Amino acid sequence: MDILRTKNEVKSALDILRKSQKTIGFVPTMGALHYGHLSLVENAKLSSDAVIVSIFVNPTQFNNKEDFEKYPITLEEDLKLLEENGVDFVFLPSVSEMYPTETLLKIDFGDLDKTLEGAFRPGHFNGVGVVVSKLLNIVKPSKAYFGQKDLQQVAIIKRLVSDLSFDVEIITVPTVRENDGLAMSSRNIRLSKEDRLTATILYKCMLFAKDELLAGQNWFEIKEKVTKRFHDEPQARLEYFELVHTDTLIKLKGIKNQKKVSICTAAYIGEVRLIDNLEII
């Protein structure tokens, strides 16, 4: 496994593959890797001749400085995991390599970045859009792999790729969950033992809402019950619990006459903010 630290090193290593007509699968990450990330790697290996993973904690997508400073860094363990799982290249850029000068570009994703995460984390998706654009331009992969857990981010990246005509296929990989349903996330490391048990409330409430919706119950009554359930849990603070169109993230009032619907939620468990989503139909 080769570790690449600069744009020029990436170009030199991957140009050789491209000249040989080899396909390149790309998995962008911020480190603190878990099996959810490894599922992206597994999917990339199945349909690519070579796999490159980036590890870069992007400062421009954090609207909360404290959140950035507390983001878990586990580089030694990450590199060991990637080597054990057959990754060919790891791109480990510094902040100065990715941002040699201040980036003044602002990306407007329209309604996509003004709802859900965009409403609670202003500027977040601009940072995501800029860094993903940079990474795709540096790596120039055939396919790039992202997790379904970050549903809104996937929608943002697909719009970015479409509108700017990036020559890459975006592959969405299903969310990987723990045995009790908690979506795997790098932030789970920060949960206390007690909060880790509490965190299952997100998945349990989404399952409850899904069952109620499919049984014909009213969405707003379901949402009210879920809100009360969070209110009754002292370690949990709900930010949003919404029914949306899976691709556009437009909020819905029900599932009648809809073909692609998901529930999206975000909540603080103790001091850790978690997000999740569940496809309904």
Question: Nearest 5°: phi and psi at 192?
Answer: -70, 170
Token look-up 């981010």 returns 153
123 is in an annotated binding site: no
Is 184 one of the annotated binding-site residues? yes
Residue 31 annotated as lining a ligand binding site: yes
Does the annotation list 150 as a binding residue?
yes
Confirm or deny that 30 is annotated as ligand binding.
yes
- Cβ contact 30:55 at 8 Å: yes
Q: Is 129 annotated as a binding residue?
A: no
Report how many helices (DSSP H) and strands (DSSP E) the chain contains, helices first.
11, 9
216 is in an annotated binding site: no
5 is in an annotated binding site: no
245 is catalytic: no
Is 231 annotated in some ligand binding site?
no
Helices (H), the chain: 7-19, 35-47, 65-70, 75-84, 95-98, 117-120, 124-139, 151-163, 193-198, 201-214, 219-231
- Using DSSP, state whether 204 is helix, strand or coil: helix
Inter-residue contact 252 to 246 (CB < 8 Å): no
Q: 185 among the known binding-site residues?
A: yes
Instruction: Concatenate the DSSP letters of all residues of 34-45 into one string.
Output: -HHHHHHHHHHH
Does the CA dihedral 16-43-187-276 come out positive or negative? Answer: positive
End-to-end alpha carbon distance in the chain: 40
Q: Is 186 annotated as a binding residue?
A: yes
Token output for 219? 């969405």
Tell me: is residue 106 an annotated ligand-binding position: no
Write the DSSP string, 12-28.
HHHHHHHHTT--EEEEE
Select which of 37, 124, 231, 245 is catalytic: 37
Determine the Cα–Cα distance for residues 134 and 214; give it in Å rounded to an integer. 42
Question: Is 21 flagged in the annotation as binding?
Answer: no
Tell me whether residue 36 is annotated as binding. Answer: yes
Annotated binding site for (R)-pantoate: 61, 153
Annotated binding site for ATP: 30-37, 147-150, 176, 184-187
Question: Which are the catalytic amino acids?
Answer: 37
Annotated binding site for beta-alanine: 61
Annotated binding site: 30-37, 61, 147-150, 153, 176, 184-187
